Every structure is written in structure tokens, then in C-alpha cells.
Structure 1
């Protein structure tokens, strides 16, 4: 009897623990949109203030290193602080805007997509890597196809990328996403499989190349 009683208690504990994990995960998912909206609002304020700051310091609004394919190559690149909101991603096909923060740790990924500090800054030569959670900001990423557009905006301009393809790699194979590139490319990364319960073992990589650079409109209008 004691053996069966102990087993029943163990089963109940496992059930309660699983329920707590599910409730916590659901809470994080429901809370994420509010934090993501706040991050976007902070970015919009920063974007509006950036030209004013540049003019008052008698500087050009374009940070060093921000280039388009027609511009000369430069090794000088903007330096961002960890946790700083540096821009936004707009996915036209999903009609989704996502704030970009410097760093890919939990605090950054709770608010939006995180720019990998070891990769190229958005809009510069090299591979710019941006990560996001599959169940929040990067929900629906797997529906994007080759040729779909991705817009990345920073205070240096709006950079239009065209998706070239996708691949799936092991979760520990991070070297593949930090490969240097002589062109300006963008890699969006999220956990895979998309419907996996718990920490997913693989990573989904969506690659895109820079088509052109456009100036940032004062109001930030997408249309």
C-alpha cells in the first residue's frame, strides 16, 4: 500500500509541476505582446529624436558603417550598447513589426528580436544575425518564402532585404550563422520545430540579401 501511495504522490507532483510550467509559459506568451509594444514605442520615440540630436551636434544622421550596395565599402561600424533598442524589423507578408534590441539574452528576447552582438550591424557588410522566439515575435516565420521582403530600420536608414532561402541546423551549430560575408546579408533565427513543446533542439535560419537602402521617413510610415 505504501508503494502505491508513494507512486500516486509522485504522479500528482509531476502533474502539478507540469501544470505550473504550462501556466508559466502561457503567462509569458500573453505578457510578451505588451512588452513588445512598449519596445516598439520606445523605438519610435528614439527614431523621432535621432535626427534632432544629429542636427544639434552638427553631424550627419547616417552613422558610420551604414551602407547600401552602391556605396563604397567601409570597415567602420556603429557600436551599440547591450540591451539598447537599435531598430525594428517589418515583415510585410505577416504585417508584423518587431523591435530589435542589442543582444540575444532573455531580457532582450522578452521585448523583441535580438541582434547577435558578434554579427554585423544591420545594414552593413557581413552577416547580420537577429534571433527571436518562435512562439512570440517570430511566430509565422516559417511561412515566409524565397523572394518575400524584409525591412530593417535603424536611425541610419531603412534596409530592404529579399529572402533567399531557409535551412535547419542543430541548436549547437552556431558557427554557421556567424560566417563572414562580403555582401550585406541578414539571417533571422528561431527555435525549431515550431510546434515543439519545451526547449526545441534545432534552429530555423531564414537568409536574405540586401536589395537597397531607403531614407527613414520622419513619421516612420510603412506605406
Structure 2
């Protein structure tokens, strides 16, 4: 029995289509893992490029207008902008950094910056320190309530205890409030692993629990 040309053509077409589907499936099975690995490589490269950028290249940790005014603050720091004024140490993180006066790029490349206009460290009022999330304040999010923060200046050694943290929009005005008590606010860009200019700010609050100053020793 002879096959009709149309039937032969149909069989061949079905065979070709089936073979094409099979080949396509095999290609996708092989291609998918390769694309997934490449995507991971691209992400790692992007992260490396972000980490390699100079600290000053990211958005400023302490935007203008984020600090509320400090009416009635009686303690005025006698620091000179740009000078190293002390050291900050995080016992639970085993990490320390220098503190400089000012929060501009030159200061933040070297350590944490004390915000001009905020209270002097260890005195009544809110002492504000800014730092980059990929350098001195990289692990700030690991601190928890009751953790201690030790600061040292020419005026003595001061120990603060973490009271909490909050996340605010980078454009939020007056997010850092004044205080009559001796408090400390650490601020950095957030999220910590964000690639590019971070949209938020991470604020860590602490209160002074002890001081060891030269004046007290002489009394």
C-alpha cells in the first residue's frame, strides 16, 4: 500500500516539530543554570563596585534639615572643624573608630563625624555622630538595646547604653530631636546593603550611663 504524499509530509512535519521541541527543551535545561550563575556573577560584581566606591561618593549620612534646632542648649563644643576629637568603641562588635569634628566628606573618610551644633560628647543634650554604612558604621544594625558604646575625648571617657533604633526617610525634616538629657544619636545611610544612594537613614539612640572625666577625678 502506497503512502499518500500528503501523509508523508504530515509525518515528516510532526517529526521535525517534535525534534525542535526536544532540542529547545534540552537547550533551556542547559541554559537556565548558566544564566542563573551569570546573574549571580553580575550581582557580585555590582556589589564589589559599590563597596569599592569612595565613602564620600554615597549620599550624605546626615542630610540638611534632619536635625531639629537646639534651643536653649547651654553646652557649646569648642572643637575645630576637621580635627580628631576622640574615639568611639563598640564592645559587642569589637570595633573602634576615630571621631572628627564635622560631617563632611573629608571627616567621614577618616571616621565618625560629630555634627557641628549638636551637644559635646558626654554633656547634656543630643550628641550626634554620622558615619558611612560601608565603613565605620557598617555593623551598626547589629547593636541591640542595652549594648554599650564607649567614647573617649579630651574631656574624659563616657559610656552610653543603646536604647533603640529607628529608620526614617532621608528627606524627613527634624527626625533627630533635641534632648535635655545626655544622649547620643548615631546616624548612617540605610539599607546597609543597598547599592547606590540609600533612600533612608538608620538612627541609633543611646543614653549616657557613666562618665570618667578629669574634673571629677580632681575633686
Q: Which structure has the bigger radius of gyration?
A: 2
1:170 is matched with which residue?
A: 169
Distance 1:174 1:116 in 2: 16
Deviation at 1:28, TM superposition (A): 3.3
Checking the alignment, whether the CA contact within 8 Å between 2:169 and 2:200 is kept in structure 1 is yes
1:138-166 residue CA offsets vs partner (Å, 9 max, x unmatched): 11110100000000110110110000000
Q: Which moved more, 1:109-118 or 1:167-176?
A: 167-176
User: What 5-or-longer segments of structure 1 have no aligned partner?
Assistant: 1-18, 30-73, 217-223
Deviation at 1:124, TM superposition (A): 1.1
2:134 is matched with which residue?
A: 135
Q: 1:20 to 1:85 in 2, by over 3 A?
A: same
1:32 is matched with which residue?
A: none
User: What 5-or-longer segments of structure 2 have no aligned partner?
Assistant: 1-44, 56-72, 215-219
Question: What's the TM-score once normalised by structure 2's chain length?
Answer: 0.65
Checking the alignment, whether the CA contact within 8 Å between 2:75 and 2:124 is kept in structure 1 is no
2:52 is matched with which residue?
A: 26
Checking the alignment, whether the CA contact within 8 Å between 2:190 and 2:200 is kept in structure 1 is yes
Deviation at 1:215, TM superposition (A): 4.3
- Asked if 1:214 is matched to 2:203, the reply is no
1:148 is matched with which residue?
A: 147
Distance 2:138 2:106 in 1: 18
State which of 190, 193, 203 in structure 2 corresponds to 1:192. Answer: 190
2:117 is matched with which residue?
A: 118
Q: Once superposed, what is the RMSD of the aligned Cα atoms? A: 2.2
1:101 is matched with which residue?
A: 100
Question: What's the TM-score once normalised by structure 1's chain length?
Answer: 0.64
Deviation at 1:85, TM superposition (A): 0.6
1:59-96 residue CA offsets vs partner (Å, 9 max, x unmatched): xxxxxxxxxxxxxxx93433111111110100001111
